[in-house]
Chains A and B, each alone.
Chain A
Amino acid sequence: MSELLKNIIRFVLFIFVQVFILFKMPPLHRFITPYLYYLYILWLPFSMSRAGLMSVAFFFGLSLDYFMHTPGLHAAACVLIAYLRPFIVNMLISQEGADKNYLSPSITSMGWAPYGTYVFILTLFHHGYLVFLEWLSFGSFLYFIGKVTATTGISLLLILLTELLFFRKEKFRTNTV
């Protein structure tokens, strides 16, 4: 399956899982909102340009927003993590040219610890910005801290489950081809 087709299917699936499963669940606590959809942006290929990443993230966030009646909220957070993604990938890639030899960030291409850090940092930025935008219109500082922490915890758990359930086999490609 071509990489483009795969990403288009992922786009639709992530939105549907978020809207029709995760947001339909009865709320556990006011601090906890289960977010998983932004994993799509973390899984986009290394080869995409930064402008490309940001445009895809914008439309991805906006399509979720139209389901949730919050136009712009998730789009803003998605664009932020798409902008920060290349910086963090450059910082964390250990082997020489892993971003050339593998297609996209994953446990196989980056290793457990760097991939975990990558996911953690971007999750924190995503939730921090999202809750901050919510907090501007209502809420207290305790709400901000509590919600970022609890939501990050739940998201990391969901991402771990997703990574284990849908393990992505990454082929090693030599850049000489």
Chain B
Amino acid sequence: MRNVFLFIRKYANFLFFLVLQIVALSFLFRYNKYHEAAFMNVAGEITGNLDQRYSTVEYYFKLKKINDQLAAENARLNQMIKENYEKPNASGKLVLDTVQLDSLRQIQKFTWLDARVVGSTVSTRTNFITIHRGSNQGVRPNMGVVSPQGIVGTVVNVSENYSSVMTMLHTQYKVVVKLKNGGDRGTVEWDGMSPYYVTLKDIPKSARVQKGDSVVTSPTSSLFPGNIMVGTVEEVLDDRSSNFYTLRLKPATDFFNIEYVYVISNSQAEEQKRMEDSTHKKF
């Protein structure tokens, strides 16, 4: 027994070192697995607050760029208004009615919530942005986030007033997308190399792909509504040994100047997941 105490006293520093290492590494690996960091909710509130103070300063220097982004988005939305289109057949008049209570029973599946970006990183291999909306405003983990230009990422952590969003520029991020021409589906990932490009995998070689083609979100992913811009094809890498193309995409979102985003909540996401899980259980 005495020897045990002597041993502990002799190697106290080394043992303390090991304990701290184990604590740190367990934080790290638990986070990488589930994205639920220890004490992240409390810390997120504090770091979010500081990030916000900093971003109010940075905000003024980016106003012109944000204005351009929002104006471009307004122009795009105005293009979609039904009044811009005219039907050649005069007898079938199109009536736009906002109250949808008819027998077709259309319901709103996706709700959009605007949010300010208060903190962001692009230079690491695990990039996140912090937004000034949290559980008090109805943000939950696993909601999609888009910018005026295209998709951004997914909410991974929520505190009362702030949320962390894992961006497309995170090596563990994956999202199902499709080619706008042809509709072939693939997965977008990031290899951690350059923040200007992401990788699109699993596009079958039967698809016709060209440089400059648009890639949009697929309605099969429950995070985003369909047809939101993801990026444009920059390069087609033809791997002879596989039946799939690997494409290099230029993300539509400018991650360096991101100030406003929308958090999209899917009212049927839980139902879809429950149904899919129960299907998996059956087989």
Contact = CB atoms under 8 A, between A and B. Distances in A.
B246 interface: no
Interface size class of A (residues with CB under 8 A): 20 to 34
Interface string A26-70: 110010010000000000000000110011001001100111111
A86 B194 CA distance: 38
A27 B20 contact: no
Interface residues of B, number: 44
A75 interface: yes
A55 B23 CA distance: 12
B47 interface: yes
Contacts of A139: 192
A67 B47 contact: yes
A25 interface: yes
A167 interface: no
Contacts of B47: 66-67
B13 interface: yes
Contacts of B122: 26-27
A112 interface: no
Given A30-B193, A70-B31, A71-B38, A20 B20 contact: no
Contact of A69 (B16, B46, B126, B194): B126
Interface of B: 12-14, 16-17, 20-21, 23-29, 31-32, 37-40, 43-44, 46-47, 50-51, 54, 119, 121-126, 128, 157, 164, 171-172, 192-195, 256
Q: Top 3 nearest A-B pairs by Cβ distance?
A: A72-B27, A72-B28, A76-B24
